[in-house]
Structure 1
Amino acid sequence: MSKILFHKMHGLGNDFVIIDQRVNNDAIDNFEIDKRLAQKICDRQFGVGCDQLIILKPSDKADLRMDIYNVDGTAASACGNASRCVVSLMGADCTIETNGGIISGSWSKNNCAVNMGKAHFNWDEIPLAYPVDNMNIPMAWDDIDGGAVVNVGNPHIVFFGNQSLLEKCEISGLKIATDPFFVNGVNANFAHISHDNIIHLNVWERGAGATMACGTGACATAVIAIKKRLVLSPATVRQRGGDLVISWQEGGDIIMSGPATYVFNGEFNPEEI
C-alpha cells in the first residue's frame, strides 16, 4: 500500500496530525479511518503522535470538511486550535464543516481568526441528563462546585476560583468529564481571573486529557466569564501553551484569534503502524 502524507501542526502546543483526503491518489482513496487506527496514529510512542487526528474531506456545505479524532479514538464535534491550523494550512480565508457546525476562518501569516458560531446554553443543547441552572450547576466533584455549562461546538463546564484551582485539572478532570450527568461527556475547564483581565485556564478534554491548550475551552470559559461580567470582551485566555483572544457579545458569534504553527510533514504506511 502506498504511504499516506500527513502534516504536523500545533496551536499553542495543542498538536495535530492532519491528513488531507481531498488529495487524489490510490493511498488516500483506499484509506479508511477507524477508532483503532486513530488511536495508533495519535500514539506518541508507537505512532506519529498528537493530541488529535484531523481528517480533511470534500464538503458540499463549506470549502472543506474536518473530522476530528481524540487520542482514545472517539470523535469530537469541534476544535478551535485545529480550525486555526487548517485555515493556516489552506493559506487563505475559508469555511470548514464540522460535526459542531460551520466554522469560518480568516487567514494571515502570523495569526488566524475563526468564527466559532453561537454559544448554546439550554440544558438539552449541552446536553445534560436533566434541567438545572446552567450558570450554577447544583453539583460538586471533590471540593469543586459552582460550575457553569455551555456548548460551543463541544460541551464544556467552567469553574472559576483562585490560582490553586488550576491544579485541580489533572486531579478531578477525568471524574468530571465522564460523569453521566453529561450525556455525551464534557470538557472540564478550571479558570482563575487575574487583576489584569486575563483568564488563566487549564482544560481536561474529554477523550484527550489535559492538553497544552484548548480552543473551544478558551471560547467557553471566556463566554461564561463575559456573561457573568467577570471580564470584558475581548478577553485574553492564557493557557500553558500561550494566549488566545476571545471576542463575544450576548447573542453574537464567538471570534477566537491566535497563532497556528506548521511543524513538519511526513508519510506513513497504515499497515505498518
Structure 2
Amino acid sequence: MGAPVFDLPRIPFDPADLSALEQGTWQVWPLKIEEKLAQPSVGRPQDASVSVAVLSMGNPHAVQVVDDVDTAPVQTLGARIESHPAFPRRVNAGFMQIMNRSRIRLRVFERGAGETLACGTGACAAVVAGIRLGLLDARVDVETRGGQLTIEWAGAAGNLAAPVLMTGPAATVFEGEIDIPELT
C-alpha cells in the first residue's frame, strides 16, 4: 500500500485552533463536532468532541478508538468527522475496536461514499495509527464487515517511511460492459 504520510499539510489536515494530545509515540487530535449532546444531569446541550489520529495512505484518514464497533455511531459521527473543517478535502473516518495487540475490528465511513463493508487503506491507516499510539504490534488481523485482512508495518521499529503491507482475499464483485462513445 506504500508508506503512510504523517506530514499534516500533505494529508491534508489543518489543525488551526486545535491542540494535540500526546499518546504513545504520536498524538491524537480532539475534534469538536457540530452535534449537540444533551447532558442528562443538567439538561443543557454540550459540544461533542472526539479524538482522532490523522494520517494519509494516499487518501486522508481520521482513526478513532472505540469500545465496540457494533454500537459506534458510524453513520452520524462518521459524516460529521468526514466534513470537519480541519480536513479541507474531507476525510475517511475509521472506527477501530482493539481486541488485543494483534487483532482489531474496524468500520470505515468513506468520504463521498458513506460506510463501506471494507476499506483497504482504512485498515492500513487504523493499524499504523494503533502502532504509533502504542496499542498494536507490527502484524495485525483486521476484521471488517466484508472480511478479514492482515496488515503489517515495520514502522514500529522506527522506520516511519516503511511501506504498509496488506494481505487478504480478492473477489470479483461485479462484471459488466460499458460503451463510451468517445472511445469507440
Name the % identity.
37
What's the secondary structure of 1:136's corresponding residue? strand
Contact 1:166/1:191, CA 8 A, preserved across alignment: no
Residue from 28, 40, 51 that aligns with 1:136: 28
- Contact residue 79 and residue 114 of structure 2 kept, 8 A: yes
Distance 1:144 1:239, change over 3 A: farther
Whether 1:185 and 2:104 are equivalent positions in the alignment is no
Q: Which residue of 1 aligns with 2:108?
A: 203
Counterpart residue type for residue 13 of structure 2: L
* Cα distance per residue 1:140-172 (max 9 Å; x no partner): 334451211001100000000201575211121
Rate the CA distance shift 1:263–1:179 in 2: closer, same or farther, 3 A: closer
Written as runs of structure 1 = structure 2, the 5 A alignment for 1:1-273 is: 116-130=1-15, 133=20, 135-141=27-33, 142=35, 143-163=48-68, 167-195=72-100, 197-250=102-155, 251=160, 252-263=162-173, 265-269=175-179
Which amino acid in 2 is paired with 1:174? Answer: A
1:263 deviates by 4.2
What amino acid sits opposite 1:140 in the alignment? K
User: In structure 2, do the counterparts of structure 1 residues 266 and 192 end up closer, same or farther at CA, with 3 Å as the change threshold?
Assistant: same
Q: 1:171 to 1:246 in 2, by over 3 A?
A: same
Q: Distance in 1 between matches of 2:89 and 2:53?
A: 16
Could you list the per-position Cα deviations for residues 30-70 of structure 1 after superposition, in whole angstroms to 9, with x for gaps in the alignment? Answer: xxxxxxxxxxxxxxxxxxxxxxxxxxxxxxxxxxxxxxxxx
Deviation at 1:121, TM superposition (A): 1.0
Q: 1:196 to 1:135 in 2, by over 3 A?
A: closer
How much has 1:260 moved relative to structure 2? 0.8
Which ranges of structure 2 fall in alignment gaps of 5 or more residues? 21-25, 36-47
Q: Can you list the C-alpha shifts for 1:2-51, whole angstroms capped at 9, x where unaligned?
A: xxxxxxxxxxxxxxxxxxxxxxxxxxxxxxxxxxxxxxxxxxxxxxxxxx
Query: Distance between the aligned counterparts of 1:191 and 1:144, measured in 2?
Result: 17
Instruction: Assess if the C-alpha contact under 8 Å between 2:69 and 2:105 holds in 1.
Output: no
Residues 1:264 and 1:145: Cα distance change in structure 2 (over 3 Å): closer
CA distance in 2, matches of 1:175, 1:204: 10
User: Is the 1:234–1:246 Cα contact (8 Å) retained in structure 2?
Assistant: yes
The match for 1:35 is none
| C-alpha spacing 1:184/1:221, structure 2 compared with 1 (3 Å) | same
Kindly report structure 1 stretches of 4+ aligned residues shifted beyond 6 Å. Answer: none
Separation in 2, partners of 1:166, 1:150: 25
RMSD: 2.1
* Structure 1: gaps spanning 5 or more residues: 1-115
In 2, Cα distance between equivalents of 1:175 and 1:190: 13
Offset at residue 128 of structure 1 (A): 1.6
Query: 1:135 is paired with a residue of what secondary structure?
Result: strand
Matched residue SS, 2:97 = strand
What TM-score do the two structures reach when normalised by structure 2?
0.76
